[in-house]
Chain A
Amino acid sequence: MVQQQPVHAAPTSEAELVLRIRDLHTYFYTVVGVAKALNGVNLDIPYGKVLGIVGESGCGKSVTALSAMRLVLPPGRIVKGEILLNRIRREGDTYTVLDEVNITDLDPRGHEIRSIRGREIAMIFQEPMTSLNPSYTVGNQIVEAILLHQDVSKEEARDRAINILRRVELPNAEAVVDRYPHELSGGMRQRAMIAMALSCTPSLLIADEPTTALDVTTEAEILDLMRELQAQMGMTIVFITHNLGVVAQMCDQVAVMYLGRVVESAPVDDIFYDPQHPYTQALLRSIPRIGSRTKKRLEPIRGVVPDPYADIRGCPFHDRCSACMPGICDVRVPAMSVLPGKVGHEVRCFLHSDAYEGDDGHVA
């Protein structure tokens, strides 16, 4: 097994970022009200690294990913914010930024975003059982993606599809290419999905809980595979999960989300050994740690995630927070601030900084 070296170096210049998400607000205008799924998400996705996004279910992880692909469907809408994509060309160790696109400006059905989807940003979904079309063979669906973005003949595309299936370690790729999804197991389907996502060598791969629906053994295999591929291809991955164990195995940098905001962002070791936000700390206390010597109790997080329709005053976590400071935390929303003396460790909590967000969502 390849041992992952934790990378502490934070991105130093914007050129090293594949994607920057700035103050992203995505709302769903449903019949029962407005669901504010994202309330100002900020994310930097450094080139060649694995960024983990963690948080309880419903905190907006998938919506963030879908927003970046412009795949949020009505009644959902990006109401504010920017998603800036650097189109990067890599030659050896040096990479040059070709141009920068603001994805939020694009027509969600237009030609430009479609040339980004699949080619620049590819995505893997949670449900391997339903993410492949049951009516077409695996090969058909991969070839379709290749033909869409690459100027090759059908035969060539098929060969590439078989190659990429081999690459994801599917046994007997020549046969699998002609199989229908229902003829494959969940793990094999997820491999096929990964193959499809990688078929056009995207600069960014978003994996939305790719292993949540799989059993533990298959999960481990798929994680191994993804790590290997990442090491070989130097790919940038956004890895969405609610499983902190997976984060520890996979990620370089971690963003913890709560109710549509990033509340803490840090290199992976800092998240585990020096968590600063009470929510991150609570998350860590709620999972069992193998090998932890202290017989500490597992503590579930108090209360439940408020629903995104609710209008909460103050810090969204304050009513579940054990360190809540009445009169402060329930009045204003804390702003993201850099922890002094740390590299790339930011936290959104009044315990660390008095900075708060103004009514217009900007840092006051």
Chain B
Amino acid sequence: MTEETITPVRAAVAAAEPTSDVGELSQWQLIWLRFRRNKLAMGGMVILAIMYLVVIFAGFLSPNAHDTQNLDYIYGPPDPITFVGPDGKLGLRPYTFATTTVLNQATFKWDFEIDRNTRIPIQFFVRGDTYKILWWQNDLHLMGIAPPDRLYVWGADSLGRDMFARTLVGGQVSMTVGLVGIALTIFLGSVLGTMSGFYGGAIDDAMQRVIEVIQSFPTIPLWAALAAALPNVSENFTMLHRYFLITVILSLVNWTGLARQLRAKVMSYRQADFTSAALVAGASNARIIFVHMLPNAASHIIVVAALAIPGMILGETSLSFLGLGIQPPMVSWGALLRDSQQVSTVVQHPWLILPGIGVVITVLGFSVLGDGLRDAVDPYSI
């Protein structure tokens, strides 16, 4: 009798066992496989990698240092680049044209005029302004033109500083704010969310109210109000302090989303088999949380985090644009764009909004990356 009932069960178990090698892939390998199929997301990842390399080697890649002022080239336009040599033939060596200043008789301002007849060869691996990559000081630049002339591929700002160099250096701040911020967000969100979901009761109630109140404010105005409370840069409040506190402010609002989602996850795990098994085996709460629950939620955390980065980068940009975030002499994309707040100025010198390209590409990159990650982790939700 017993034999009759057991056999099909055992067979069913055997049948359920993986027969193809798909079943032997780990969860992470599966995610990676699915992610790799998503061309858009892969493209986003590659572009981001390139962008990070570019901003790390900002000093080397730009012809000038970002803070070298050139009062002869205030609001100077971008130097045009041509591959047509003086002999009129297309070649490999790029040239730029000489620029002269002429007094505009109507406005009594100096206008820049490009002299299409005088070509200046662009040289590679030239010595110029000194810069630092992390702690490594150097003066070798990828390209430049013979001094005393300077090459401004993206034009110059109100103090004659190289916009290209400033954009690359600004990226160092803008592209890390999101990462540092997201690290804080993950920390706050997972600790508070897990606690809230795991302990429930009064802790959970309190946490939910706090989250509700924080989420009752629209983000940018709240960030702005908090950032307005930061002191201005001074002796004992350095740029770095400000930078760090801005990221804290950004994540102070952002952790709530992650905490909510993790709470729900942890609550469902509380009923899961592995939790009861661990409890029976006498595991401590901390062990259950750190060994069982968080690793299970890890893919989820990563997705939420990746999707939150664009918001942080946009947040920093907006704050700095308003003058409430990163302040000079530190540069970030938002701080650079602040120069274009005067519409009359930008209309005359449109290259001032070029740092915006950095914002758009980075945010776009993180958006498609986050989207791809979500699809890879959870292919059934859209």
What is the interface of chain A, defined by CB distance below 8 A to chain B?
31, 286, 288, 295, 297-300, 304
Majority DSSP secondary structure for residues of A touching B: loop
> Which residues in B have their C-beta under 8 angstroms from that of A298?
4, 7-8
Number of B residues with CB within 8 Å of any CB on chain A: 9
Task: Check if B15 sits within 8 Å of A286, measured CB to CB.
Answer: no
> Which residues in B have their C-beta under 8 angstroms from that of A297?
3-4, 7
**Is the C-beta of B277 less than 8 angstroms from some C-beta in chain A?**
no
Task: Check if A286 sits within 8 Å of B19, measured CB to CB.
Answer: no
Of A286, A288, A295, A298, most buried by chain B (CB within 10 Å of CB) is A298
Task: Check if A304 sits within 8 Å of B19, measured CB to CB.
Answer: yes
In whole Å, how far is A300's beta carbon from the nearest beta carbon of chain B?
4
**Is the C-beta of B11 less than 8 angstroms from some C-beta in chain A?**
yes
List 5 extra interface pairs beyond A288-B4, A297-B7, A300-B15, CB under 8 A.
A286-B8, A295-B4, A298-B4, A300-B7, A300-B8
> Which residues in B have their C-beta under 8 angstroms from that of A288?
4
> Which residues in B have their C-beta under 8 angstroms from that of A304?
15, 19
Give 18 A-B contacts (CB < 8 Å), ordered by A residue.
A31-B37, A286-B8, A288-B4, A295-B4, A297-B3, A297-B4, A297-B7, A298-B4, A298-B7, A298-B8, A299-B7, A300-B7, A300-B8, A300-B11, A300-B12, A300-B15, A304-B15, A304-B19
- What 1/0 mask marks residues of chain B from 15 to 31 whose CB sits below 8 Å from any chain A CB? 10001000000000000
In whole Å, how far is B380's beta carbon from the nearest beta carbon of chain A?
15
What is the interface of chain B, defined by CB distance below 8 A to chain A?
3-4, 7-8, 11-12, 15, 19, 37
> Which residues in A have their C-beta under 8 angstroms from that of B19?
304
B37 — nearest CB in chain A belongs to which residue? A31
Q: Complex formed: what's the CA distance from A87 to B15 in Å?
A: 45
In whole Å, how far is B108's beta carbon from the nearest beta carbon of chain A?
66
> Which residues in B have their C-beta under 8 angstroms from that of A295?
4
Q: Complex formed: what's the CA distance from A286 to B7 in Å?
A: 11
> Which residues in A have their C-beta under 8 angstroms from that of B4?
288, 295, 297-298
Q: Complex formed: what's the CA distance from A295 to B1 in Å?
A: 9
Q: Complex formed: what's the CA distance from A295 to B19 in Å?
A: 32
Q: Complex formed: what's the CA distance from A118 to B62 in Å?
A: 70
A303 — nearest CB in chain B belongs to which residue? B15
Q: Complex formed: what's the CA distance from A299 to B15 in Å?
A: 13
Q: Complex formed: what's the CA distance from A298 to B8 in Å?
A: 7
Q: Complex formed: what's the CA distance from A299 to B4 in Å?
A: 9
In whole Å, how far is B86's beta carbon from the nearest beta carbon of chain A?
54
B20 — nearest CB in chain A belongs to which residue? A307
A296 — nearest CB in chain B belongs to which residue? B4
In whole Å, how far is B107's beta carbon from the nearest beta carbon of chain A?
61
> Which residues in A have their C-beta under 8 angstroms from that of B37?
31
In whole Å, how far is B18's beta carbon from the nearest beta carbon of chain A?
10
Identify the 6 closest CB pairs spanning chains A and B, nearest first: A300-B11, A298-B8, A300-B8, A304-B15, A298-B7, A298-B4
